[in-house]
Amino acid sequence: MSQPQPGVRTTEAEAGPGTAAVVVLAAGQGTRMRSATPKVLHALGGRSMLGHVLAATAPLGAGDTIVVVGAGRDAVVEHLSAVAPAARAVVQEEQRGSGHAAAVALAAVPDLRGPVLIVNGDAPLLRAETVADLVAAHRTSGAVLTVLTAVVDDPTGLGRIVRDGEGAVRAIVEERDATTEQRAVREVNAGVYLGDAAALRDSLARVDGDNAQGEVYLTDVVGLLVADGALVGGRRAEDPVDVLGCNDRRELAARRRVLNDRVLDRLMVEGVTVVDPATTWVDVTVTVEADALLQPGTQLHGTTRVAAGAVVGPDTTLTDCEVAEGASVVRSHCSGAVVGPGATVGPFSYLRPGTRLARGTKVGAFVETKNVTVGEGSKVPHLSYVGDATIGTGSNVGAATVFVNYDGVAKHHTTIGDHVRIGSDTMLVAPLTVGDGAYTAAGSVITDDVPPGAMGVARARQRNVAGWVRRRRPGTAAAQAAAAAGDAGAAGAADPRLRTDESRRAVPETHSDE
């Protein structure tokens, strides 16, 4: 990591508003991604690359945020409407370089005055602190343009920063044009610029696109301003990782790893136990309180919140969920669910949107829930589906129970009262109410309301067919076991000489009797 330049660094709060506008360059093709998705919309850590850049610049409070779009513009504009509705999309019809994109953005705000921040849309690791520090440095330096730079171990392929004896930036030299001495420079251009709008407009209008690519580059502005006698400053990023771009899937994976490591490091510093950071993934939008425990294989996405004392994992994925204090979710997948204080979930359960578990509830192994409220202290221990239902306090849903909520056209609701006991293998056919203190008999198909305190029974009466094994399964191990247990007829069935005419009948070709 490079050493910061001398001077006091500021936080984003201390920097305050320092830009009249933010321009995000997001029009590139991103061909190396080999994707139908525009490059800046590829996601990591709970946001798109563009979303991360907008989040890093948002604390500046700029009057205008302009996003230059081109390739995949419809998708990018739609995404902007969701994540940054105040931002303005400006179309770059032809992708003719970074300088041309910046000129297109400035043309959209012809009356703009003051400092303008220009940043690439594919820099997902850019932090708000780094942006704020650049703004503070520019504000105090008197420079017309300040370039964000970074000192890297291997500058191959990157534009070198050339400074004079007083530290002012004199040029940004691309590697193909650099001398041997310049190639030895490890300070490189980070692709983030903060400059006066009027000066940028004037310089961009004079940039010559006479090159092999026929493109206009922002780096050429530096040379023009220096030639005009203007001061161009450079501010080094404290962490060079902040300025890394993302051009292909390999780099996307690498940036994702760095971003996740940052999130986990912050959580651990704040008092969260992360047992295995290598297998734990937490989005930047997630909140985890101190003294929570994240076991290996945990993934927390979206707006998930995990309270103090909660245990999540191992092997658990939560998306847009709330896990209250002291609750635990083990080897389960949950989306849009609320797990109350001291509640337990799993292993191997699936909580779908609309699930709300009150204090001390239990959703055990192999249970699926959807749009259900489970009251305090109630349990759905195992092997059940509970959908479109309200369960009161202190109730128990027996194993293999199914809340039959869909009739093929509409969903219907089931209400289970307080201190109800649902027998195992019960079908509850909605709409239905089972009153307080009621029971249902195991194996029942309940289609009518069960009054409070009643027992709902809906099953055929059992009958035992004596001698069935002797007649239908002669000579089998079952027949021999039955004979040994006292079925005299079964003993005869084991001896072919004693078979009756009925025992010789063909066994029906069905497994319904097995």
Residue with tokens 């739609």: 78
In Å, how far are 139, 329, 385, 479 from 334, measured between CA atoms?
48, 9, 14, 49
Distance CA(70)–CA(430), nearest Å, equals: 52
The answer to whether 459 is annotated as binding is yes
Task: Choose, from 42, 52, 138, 382, the residue flagged as catalytic.
Answer: 382
The answer to whether 39 is annotated as binding is yes
The answer to whether 405 is annotated as binding is yes
The answer to whether 27 is annotated as binding is yes
Closest CA to 351 of 326, 323, 392: 323
Active site residue 100: no
The answer to whether 189 is annotated as binding is yes
The answer to whether 28 is annotated as binding is yes
Residue type, 179: T
The answer to whether 120 is annotated as binding is no
The answer to whether 182 is annotated as binding is no
Distance CA(395)–CA(438), nearest Å, equals: 10
Distance CA(92)–CA(320), nearest Å, equals: 36
Beta bridge partners of 335: 319
- Which pair of tokens denotes residue 52? 């991360």
Closest CA to 392 of 420, 413, 428, 369: 420
The answer to whether 371 is annotated as binding is no
The answer to whether 126 is annotated as binding is no
The phi, psi pair for 175, rounded to 5°, reads -60, -40
Could you tell me if 287 and 304 are in contact, meaning their C-beta atoms sit under 8 angstroms apart? yes
Distance CA(491)–CA(503), nearest Å, equals: 13
Distance CA(450)–CA(454), nearest Å, equals: 6
Could you tell me if 378 and 391 are in contact, meaning their C-beta atoms sit under 8 angstroms apart? yes
> Can the peptide bond before residue 347 be classed as cis, meaning omega within 30 degrees of 0?
yes
| DSSP single-letter state for residue 332 | -
- Which pair of tokens denotes residue 260? 């996740």
The answer to whether 346 is annotated as binding is no
Q: Residue 345: helix, strand or coil by DSSP? A: strand
Q: Rounded to 5 degrees, what angle do the CA atoms 411, 415, 416 make?
A: 140
- Which pair of tokens denotes residue 7? 């001077």
Distance CA(162)–CA(188), nearest Å, equals: 9
The phi, psi pair for 90, rounded to 5°, reads -125, 130
Contacts of 305 by beta carbon, 8 Å cutoff, 6+ apart: 286, 287, 288, 321, 322, 323
The answer to whether 399 is annotated as binding is yes
The answer to whether 247 is annotated as binding is yes
The phi, psi pair for 340, rounded to 5°, reads -75, 175
The answer to whether 424 is annotated as binding is yes
Distance CA(240)–CA(123), nearest Å, equals: 12
Residues catalogued as catalytic: 382
Annotated binding site for UDP-N-acetyl-alpha-D-glucosamine: 25-28, 39, 92, 159, 174, 189, 247, 352, 370, 385, 396
Annotated binding site for Mg(2+): 122, 247
Annotated binding site for acetyl-CoA: 399, 405-406, 424, 442, 459
Annotated binding site: 25-28, 39, 92, 122, 159, 174, 189, 247, 352, 370, 385, 396, 399, 405-406, 424, 442, 459
